[in-house]
Chains A and B, each alone.
Chain A
Amino acid sequence: MTMVPHALPPVPDVGGPAQPLLKVDGLTKHFPVRGTGFFAPKLVARAVDGVSFSIAKGETLGVVGESGCGKSTTARLLMRLIEPDAGEMVFDGELVGEELGIRDLRRRMQMVFQDSYASLNPRLIIADSLAFAPTVHGIPHAEAMAAAAELLEQVGLDPKAVLGRYPHQLSGGQRQRINIARALALRPRLVILDEAVSALDKSVEAQVLNLLVDLKRRFDLTYVFISHDLNVVHYIADRAMVMYLGKVVEIGPVDRIYADPRHPYTRALFAARLSSDPERRSVAAALEGDPPNPINPPSGCRFRTRCPLAGEICAAHEPVVTDLGEGHSVACHLADPASGHSEASRHG
């Protein structure tokens, strides 16, 4: 297979392999919520509340959590599709917004969304959708069109059959391949995949996952892979980050987290996976109730209202992040011997 012509050359590496590709510190986004009346108190949804993590070059960070946990808002903040209220982002050593402008950030970082149809302009043929961003970034139109054809081959589509079509003439799987091709048109270093395979049928999902693994190697990519599907994250990610109500509750190497989850929420999430064996069915739900609303989240630890192990300390203080070694850390009083939780030693 031929490589994409270097219409847009890949962005060179700056800090070497040891420097994280992306370092996020204290990322915060509170959305104002319309009150119930003129004199009603102003409410805010704490969608993302002090999220910090880093991503090494060439790795895949899986992000899991239920609706309202802030995983998609985090993705949009990383892309600067929305402005953070607080927090810093450093991309390969350059502070985003100061040393690295937003336009340059978006050359280095691209995103693929869940809804393959809504992501494409319905009035543009595929060739124009693929050539749009490179043209904006100063590539002559003819070159961008040639690059579009080669990108389609890279994602396993026949350019002749697809270039002149409109999005509605293609299947969901084909459209998602096109969204991936478009994300790669700028030769980014980091691709954020926000539930990018969730809407696909299982047989097509497997094809696209195989493609993502191939492309990562071929284009030397780093992925942020957001999904509610724990099996898919286990398959594709090197590290996993578990979020709950706008906070990171646990992060670490995927094999460690899946073998020995330490946060009670992570455990509950894993316990809620469906059995695939009709003779070994689940007998009890790990958690009661729905995830609470990010407007007025619980005090202290936000999981305490559903946590089977919650103690008094959990309502009083927010847990600190405890480093468990080997890059595994958890934000739970039980893991912190100094927290004062009555069962901290037993579970820690």
Chain B
Amino acid sequence: MADTPLLSVSGLSVAFDTPRGTAKAVNGIDFGLDRGEILCLLGESGSGKSVTLRALMRLLPERRSKIGGRVTIEGEDLYALPERRVEDLRGKTVSMVFQDPMLAFDPVYTIGRQIAETILRHEAVSRAEADRRALELLEKVQIPSARRRLDAYPHEMSGGMRQRAMIALALACNPSILLADEPTTALDATVQMQVLLLLRRLQAETGMAVIMVTHDIGVAAETADRVAVMYAGRIVEQGTAAQVLKTPRHPYSVGLFASTVHAGLKHQRLDAIPGAPPDLTALPAGCAFAPRCPRREAACEVAPPPVTATADGRSVVCVSAAALARS
């Protein structure tokens, strides 16, 4: 067990049939996840980060999507498993926290009941034991007067409390991988900080691995061990949080961080990246960022750039990667 990687993704691609043609949402991505690690997939809308996350739980509609490549979880090939085995996996080995807990919870059952159901589905325990664990979980995510909250319906809770309850539900069966899709984006600033600190603490306590999808550089900086920056369905840059966030190399990461407003920029013109992300139904043949890139060369438009790994453990997908590493 110890030497099989917890999660490994190789050549993952996802395409959807749409009325306008085939949308290539994810275009051949590779990454691994170690036990106890927090990986952030950072990208803007349409970069493929949420689709990637859903692919890791086999949640994509199988008839409408074409999925290629390989995902292995604890050594098992996810897309070769029968549906029944995948259901055992979901919520037990891998579980997920969504951006909008109001949509993720069933509105007609109490919070406590939904957490207990999850435990009963995966473990051979009594109803009373499941109820006791549900209470313990609500206490663990610091919901005040947890006993009373067990009987609350999702709509009776505030946004922050619902997101805590969602986390409690996700942790019900001690998963080894938690997938979190923009878990704090819908929350107010003061509540966002509470929930991020809670996630960090729970990760440290349980030793689970986390993949966090976010568009917010701040969320990545507050939580990630490693960061993968996504653009048009590809990971353009990968490395430790400090490497990627403090000294970005890919021209897109550089542009993204430069266009993010911070205190030092008052009265200055913002360094916006020109143009807009590409149409996923008509991706360019070469690098998808080339049309917006200040370092564009002839080679960029011919074929997608190769992955260049450097000695310090980071990788950059750019034809100028070697030059970028020196600069």
Which A residues are closer than 8 A to B by beta carbons?
66-67, 171-174, 201-207, 209-210, 213, 228-232, 234-235, 258, 268-269, 271-279, 281-282, 284-291
Which residues does chain A contribute within 8 Å of B259, judged by CB atoms? 202-203, 205-206
CA A279 to CA B241, docked complex, whole Å: 9
Contact partner of B276 among A202, A204, A284, A286, CB < 8 A? A204
B112 at the interface (CB under 8 A from A): no
Let me know if B326 is at the binding interface, CB within 8 A.
no
* Alpha-carbon gap, A315 to B273, bound state (A): 50
A278 and B276: CB pair below 8 A? Answer: no
B188 touches A291 (CB 8 A): yes
Query: A208's closest neighbor in chain B, by CB?
Result: B272
Are A203 and B255 in contact, with the CB atoms below 8 A?
A: yes
A66 touches B256 (CB 8 A): no
Chain B neighbourhood of A231, CB < 8 A: 260-263
The 3 closest A-B pairs by CB, nearest first: A274-B218, A206-B272, A206-B259
Interface flags, B182-201, vs A, CB<8A=1, else 0: 00000011111110110000
| A276/B191 in contact, CB under 8 A | no
CB-CB nearest in chain B for A203: B273
Q: Which residues of B contact A (CB under 8 A)?
A: 44-45, 144, 158-161, 188-194, 196-197, 215-222, 224, 240-242, 245-246, 255-256, 259-263, 265-266, 269-274, 276-277
Docked-complex contact A206 and B159, CB < 8 angstroms: no
- A276–B262 CB distance below 8 A: yes
6 residue pairs A–B, Cβ–Cβ below 8 Å: A202-B217, A206-B273, A258-B263, A273-B189, A281-B222, A291-B190
Say whether A171 contacts B276, CB under 8 Å.
yes
- Interface contact B197-A284, CB-CB below 8 Å: yes
A274 close to B221 (CB less than 8 A): yes
Beta-carbon contact of A277 and B221 below 8 Å? yes
* A61 to B80 alpha-carbon distance, docked (Å): 57
B263: nearest chain-A partner, CB-CB: A234
CA distance A289 to B191 in the complex (A): 7
Q: B197 and A282: CB pair below 8 A?
A: yes
Q: Are A206 and B271 in contact (CB under 8 A)?
A: yes
Chain A residue contacts of B270, Cβ below 8 A: 206-207, 209-210, 235
Q: Beyond A201-B277, A278-B245, A282-B193, list 6 extra A-B contacts (CB 8 Å).
A: A201-B44, A203-B255, A228-B189, A273-B218, A274-B222, A275-B222
- Inter-chain CA distance A21–B193, complex, in Å, is 37
